[in-house]
Amino acid sequence: MGVLDRIGGALGWRSRGKTPVPFVVLFKKFKSILERNNRILTLMADMGDKLGGEYVFDRRYIESACEELSDQIFKLVSDLSILNRCRNVPLFIAFEAVRQEIADELAGRHHFPATAPTLPLSALRRDMGEAAGGKFAMLGELKNKLALPVPDGFVITTGAFADFMAKNGLPDFIRDQTELLDADEEGNIRQVSDVVRERILAAALPRSLGRGIHDALADLARRLGAMPPSLAVRSSAWDEDGETSFAGQYESVIGVAAKDVPEAFKRVVAGAYSPEAWLYRRRRGFREHEAVMAVGCQAMVDSTVSGGLYTYAPMTRNDEGIFVSAAWGLCAPVMSGEVETDSYLLARRAPFAATSREIARKSRQMVLVPGRGAEYADVAPEKADAPCLTEAELALLGEASLSLEKYFKRPQDVEWTFDAAGRLYVLQSRPLVFSGEPARRTGAIDAATAKAEVLFSGRGDVVQRGVAMGRVFVVRTDADLDDFPFGAILVAHHTSPRYSRIMARAQGILTDIGSPAGHMAAVAREFRLPTIVGCGVATSLLKTGDEITVDATQNVVYRGLVKELRFFELTEEAVYEDSYEYRLLRRLLKKITPLNLVDPHSPDFTPAACRTYHDITRYIHEQAVAELIDLSESRQGILDASARKLRSPLPLNLSLIDLDNEAGADTSPIGVEDLHCLPLREILTGLTASGMWATDPVPVDMGSFMASLTRTLGAGAPGSEKLGRNLAVVSREYLNLNLHLGYHFVLIDAYVGEVVNDNALYFRFLGGVTDLARRARRARCIGKILEQADFRVELHGDLVVGRLKKFDREAMRGKLRLLGGLVGFTRQLDVRMGRDDDPHCFAEEFLAAIQPVLSGEETPHADAKHL
C-alpha cells in the first residue's frame, strides 16, 4: 500500500468535512502523541545504546526495532492529523522518504544521496560520508569546521560511482566473479581480482560524470587562479578513515595531470578490488555491497617536508606524548615506509617541546617534477643528516594535533606536509586505536581514582558512556552558547536540543534536570559525547573554569584531571565495531537519530526540512503542544460542554470543564479542596499566598486608561460576549487556564505527569489599564521573573510569552506555584511602574515574597483570611 493510500485509510473521516470534534477526544489524541513520542525516543535510545558495545544484538533485533519505529512514527503522524484536523501530506511524505531509505538499507540497496556528480571540498562536512566517503567527509570537516589548512579540491561522489558501475554492468559482473572465489580466502583471489580490475579499467565514464569532472576541475582552477600542475586522486570509501581505517589498502594516484583525472578515477575504483583490499574487507566482515567508493581530487602541495603523527602515543607507564615521523619531500613514501624518517616525541601541552628525537640519515625523497609528476630523487648531502623540522614547525604540529584530538574526542593518525613557505597542510586524519594491557590499565585506574576527590557520584542517568576531562562552562541562557569554548564541559540546569550546536566542541555534558530519553540525549548519543542528565547538583557545585573529570561509564565526577582515565578512554579497543551488524545499525541510525530541527521558531522548522525520524518526532511534539493551546484558547469543542463553578476565596468567577468527567453529569460548584487537577491546585496555592493578591485601591490616570482601553480590547482579547467568563479546562495532569482579570489577559497551559518528557508549561500575559510604557515595564518585570525560573521568554511590548518543559513533577509544582503568585502579584502592577528601574525592583520583591511558598514554608489557608 502506498503512502497516500495509508494516509487515506488513517484519515478517511477527514474527507467528510470539518465536523467539530469534542475537545475531550482531541485531548486523548494529544495524550496518545505524548505516549508515542516517549516510546519512539526510548527505542532510539535503546538502538543508540547497542552501539556502546555492552549489549549483544543481531540482525533480527535491528529489523524488529526499525519495524516498530516506523510503525510508531506513522501512527504519530496520524495522531497529529486527527488533532489538527489536517491531512499533513508533507509530513507523511517526509516519513515515507525516511522509511524507504531504511528499508533499502536493510535490503542491501544503498540509498545514495541526491547530489551532483562532484562536490567541492568547501561543501563537505563530517556527516556527509554517504556521499563523499569517509576520508573526504573528514577532510571537509577539518577545512570547514576546524579551519585547518587542507589542499583544495573536490570529490566524485558515491552516487557518481554507483552510476558508473551500473551503466557498465559491473555490480552483476562482480557478483558473478565473487561466486568463483575459493573457500580458501587466498586461493584464487588474485586471478579473480585481475579480471575485475581489468573490466573496471576498460569501462566507459557516463557522459554526466565526464562533464562533472571537467566542470569541477575548471572551478578548482578558478579558485586557485590556475590549474594545479599536479593533482592527487585519492580513495574515499565508505567507512574509510572511520571506525575501520583501510590504511594503505586502497589505491591513490599522485602527480596526475588534469586531463588524466578520468583514468585515475577508474584506477582508484579498480583498486577497491585489489587482492589486498578485497581480503581486508572479507576478513573485517564487510559484505560485497558495502564496497562503495567516492574518489577525491586535490591540488598537490610542493612539499619540502612531510610525515605522519600520532596525537596520543603512550610510551611508558608514566609518559605520554605526540609521536611525529618526518622526511624530506612528499608524504606518500613516508606512509608506505619506503624512506628513512626522523622521529620526535612532543609534550602534550604548549609549547610542545620535543622530549626526545632521533635524526636519521635520509638518502631519498619523493618530489614533484613539472610535466612528469612525482618521482624519487636524492637528498642533498647537506640535508641528509639535518633535522627535517624546526622548533616552530613542531609547535604547529603539536597545536594541530591536540585540536584534532579534542574535536574528534579520540586519538588521531594524521598525515601532514609543509610547503616551501613553511605553511602546514593536513592531508588526512583517521581514528587511532591502541591495543592496551587491560590488567595494567585497570590497576592504574583503581589507584588513581582512589586518590582523586569525588565531587558527586551515582546521581542522575548516564546518557552516553565515556570519559570527559576539561574546564567547566556553565550555560544559563542560549546566549551563553555563543561563547562556549572549544574543549569545555557543558554544565546546565536542564537539557535542551539547542545544545546540539556546540556538541562538536564539547568534551561532555552534565545537567541538573533531564531525561535520558529526551531529544538532547538522542543527539548526545549521536555525537558519542559523555553525558549525564538529572544530576541535581551540577550547577550548584560547579562553576565556569573548574577543572573536572567526568566518568560517565561509572557515573562519577572528580575534581581535577584524572589522566589514567583519559589513558584508558583513548586506548580502549572496540572489537565489536568490526561486525557487519554494528556497521548496519550505525548507518541506519544516521537516518533515524540526527536532529536537524532544533529551533521551533526557525523558518526551517517545517515538514519539508524533516530528514530523519527524530526530526519528524520533534516536529510533531512541538506542533501537538501548540495545537492543544490553540484549541483551548479558541474553545473549540469546549463551550458546549458542562461546566462547574469554582468556589474560591478570590473573585475569579472561574468555570471548570473536567475532561475526566466525560458524562458531564455533575455541574454543581466545586471547592478548591476537591480539585483533582494538580496544575490548577498548585497555581491556586501560589495565587492565594500572602501578599500575592493585592486588594488596595490604586490610582489610575484616566488619559492613560482611555488610551489603552481600545488597544487592549483589540489585541488578543476574547469577544465582548465572553468577557468576564474565566475558564479552566482540566484533567488530573492537564490545565488550560484562560483568565481575564480587569484589562489584561492570562493564558496558562500546563501538563504535569510522572514522565519528565511530557511535562510542559506555556504562559502568556497581555494588556493592562495604563499607557504602553508602563505596560511594557510590567512585561519586562514578568520576563525577568520567568527567566529566573528557567522559562524561555519572548517580549513584545506588553506581551510576555514564557515556555518551559521537561522538568520533573516536583519541580513543575514549584513552577506552577510561582506562576500563580505571579498572576496575583502583577495584577495591577502596571499602574505602579513609573520608573525604568521598577521592573528590577518589583521582580526582586516578588521573588523574595514567593520563596516561602516555593520552599513549602507557607501553606495558604483555604479561606484566605490573610488577604
Q: Are 607 and 94 in contact (CB under 8 A)?
A: yes
Residue 239: its pLDDT value, please? 65
Q: Which of 795, 764, 802, 801 is nearest to 780 (CA)?
A: 795
C-alpha of 361 from chain center: 49
pLDDT of residue 473: 97
Residue 335 grid cell: 606512509
DSSP strand pairing (760-767 vs 799-805): antiparallel
What is the per-residue pLDDT for 666?
Answer: 66
Residue 385: what residue type? Answer: D
Predicted local confidence at residue 415, as pLDDT: 93
Helical residues (DSSP H) of 294-437, grouped into ranges: 332-336, 381-384, 391-408
Q: Are 323 and 343 in contact (CB under 8 A)?
A: yes
| Phi, psi angles (nearest 5°) of residue 440 | -65, -40
Identify whether residues 325 and 247 lie together within a single domain: no
pLDDT at 262: 97
Cα 366 versus chain centre, distance: 43
Regarding whether 392 and 344 lie in a shared domain, the answer is: yes
Using CB atoms within 10 A of its CB, is residue 231 exposed (0-12), middle (13-18) or buried (19+)? Answer: buried
Contact call for residues 402 and 348 (beta carbons, < 8 A)? yes
Beta-sheet strand order (sheet of 354-358):
354-358, 342-346, 322-328, 303-310, 412-419, 424-431
Q: Beta strand 556-559 with 547-551: parallel, antiparallel or unpaired?
A: antiparallel
Report how many domains make up the chain: 5
Record the cell numbers describing residue 702, joined without a space: 484616566
Domain identity same for 233 and 187: yes
Q: What is the CATH number of the domain that holds 258?
A: 3.30.1490.20
| Residues 823 and 740 both lie in one domain | yes
Q: What do you get for the CA distance between the two ends of the chain, in Å?
A: 65
Written as one string, the DSSP assignment of 183-218 is: SSTTSSHHHHHHHHHHHHHTPPPPHHHHHHHHHHHH
315 in the same domain as 292: no
Within a domain: residue 539? yes
Distance CA 806, CA 428 (A): 42
Q: Give the residue from 341, 320, 312, 130 showing the smallest Cα distance to 236.
A: 130
Q: Which three cell numbers stand for residue 543?
A: 562553576
* CA dist list (Å): 726 to 121, 206, 678, 690, 709: 60, 71, 18, 23, 19
Judge whether 481 lies within some domain: yes
Q: Are 594 and 585 in contact (CB under 8 A)?
A: no
Please answer whether residues 137 and 590 qualify as being in contact, where contact means their C-beta atoms are separated by less than 8 angstroms: no
Q: How far apart are CA 804 and CA 793, in angstroms?
A: 9
- CA 261 distance to own-chain centroid: 37
752 assigned to some structural domain: yes
> CA–CA separation, 840 vs 844, rounded Å?
6
462-496 residues labelled b (16+ CB within 10 A) or e (exposed) = bbbbbbbbbebbbbeeeeebeebeebbbbbbbbbb
The CATH number assigned to the domain holding 455 equals: 3.50.30.10
What is the signed CA dihedral for 141, 146, 150, 152, rounded to 10 degrees?
A: 60
For residues 135 and 643, give the distance between their C-alpha atoms in angstroms, rounded to a whole number: 66
Q: Do 542 and 556 sit in the same domain of this protein?
A: yes
Helices and strands (H and E) in the chain: how many = 25, 30
- The set of cell numbers assigned to 82 is 486527527
Task: Say which residues have a Cβ less than 8 Å from residue 379's Cβ, sequence separation at least 6.
Answer: 328, 362, 363, 364, 365
Q: 347, 322, 469: which is closest to 404 by C-alpha? A: 322
Instruction: Looking at the structure, tell me whether residues 197 and 320 fall in a common domain.
Output: no
Please list the rounded mean pLDDT of every run of 10 residues in the chain (867 residues): 47 46 79 87 85 75 94 94 87 94 85 84 87 91 89 96 94 86 68 91 95 96 93 85 54 91 96 82 71 93 93 62 92 85 88 91 90 88 94 94 80 92 93 56 71 91 88 91 90 88 88 82 82 92 95 92 77 58 85 86 91 93 82 60 78 84 68 90 90 64 45 38 63 89 84 90 85 88 93 88 90 95 88 89 92 72 37
Q: How many CB atoms lie within 10 A of CB 217?
A: 20
- DSSP string spanning 136-168? HHHHHHHHHTS------EEEE-HHHHHHHHHHT
Q: ω before 699 within 30° of 0 (cis)?
A: no
3 is a domain residue: yes
CA distance 455 to 102: 43
> Residue 238: helix, strand or coil by DSSP?
coil
What is the residue range of 806's domain? 642-693+723-855
Of 275, 299, 323, which residue sits at a domain end?
A: 299
Amino acid at 496: S
d(CA 741, CA 748): 13
Q: Is the separation of the CB atoms in 774 and 781 below 8 Å?
A: no
Find cell 579534542 and name the residue: 406
Is 860 contained in some domain?
Answer: no
- Residues 516, 461: contact at Cβ < 8 Å? yes
Pairing of strands 342-346, 322-328: antiparallel
- φ/ψ of 210, rounded to 5, equals -60, -45
Task: Please name the residue ranges forming H helices in 473-612.
Answer: 519-527, 538-541, 563-571, 580-592
Helix (H) or strand (E) holding 48: helix 23-50
Structure confidence at residue 439 (pLDDT): 41
Sorted by sequence, the CB contacts under 8 Å of residue 184 that are 6+ apart come out as none
C-beta atoms surrounding 765 within 10 Å: 26
Q: Which of 283, 299, 315 is the last residue of a domain?
A: 299
Regarding whether 393 and 476 lie in a shared domain, the answer is no
Whether the Cβ atoms of residue 612 and residue 98 lie closer than 8 Å to each other: yes
Q: Is 345 part of a structural domain of the chain?
A: yes
Residue 362, domain CATH: 3.30.470.20
Pairing of strands 792-796, 799-805: antiparallel
**Predicted pLDDT of residue 710:** 42
Identify the three-state secondary structure at position 394: helix
- Domain assignment present for residue 411? The answer is yes
In this structure, are 150 and 94 located in the same domain?
no
Listed residues 606, 628, 650: the one ending a domain: 628
Going 359 to 360 to 363 to 367, the CA torsion angle's sign is negative
Residue 494 has a pLDDT of 86
Its pTM stands at 0.59
**Amino acid 565: pLDDT:** 82
What is the SS3 assignment for 486? coil
Residue 337 DSSP symbol: T
Residues 294 and 317 in one domain: no
Look at residue 704 and tell me if it is in a domain.
no
Residues 221 and 92 in one domain: no
Co-location of 624 and 646 in the same domain: no
Distance between CA atoms of residues 735 and 748, nearest Å: 7
pLDDT of amino acid 670: 86
